[in-house]
Amino acid sequence: MSSELSLIVRTADQTRRAELSLDGTSTGADILQAAVDNWALPADTDYTLVNATTGKALTPGESLAHAVRPGDVLEVQPVLVAG
């Protein structure tokens, strides 16, 4: 049984933002791929998805039903690699 979750997804710099209703079985990886595709984010960059409401990162395979609550703000953040 899945339920729909209303969430806000935004980029870390807050230049892009979307209010979405997603199925609870969607995963963090699904959201990241959709953000890269829809917002034309650089595909050669790795991203992480952080629940800005709770401050916790979502693992790519984690379902939304276990990681978020309706109204949470999810932030797409680039993974910075220090050299």
**Mean pLDDT score of the chain, rounded to an integer?**
92
Q: Please give the radius of gyration of the chain, using alpha carbons only, rounded to the nearest integer.
A: 12
pLDDT in tens, 46-68: 999 999 999 999 999 999 998 99
* CATH number attached to the domain at 4-78: 3.10.20.90
**Residue 34 token pair:** 């959709």
Structure confidence by residue, pLDDT tens digits, 9-58 = 999 999 999 999 999 999 999 999 999 999 999 989 999 999 999 999 99
**In which band, very low, low, confident or very high, does the pLDDT at 80 lie, cut at 50, 70 and 90?**
confident
CB 75 within 8 A of CB 12: yes
Q: Is pTM beyond 0.85 here? A: yes
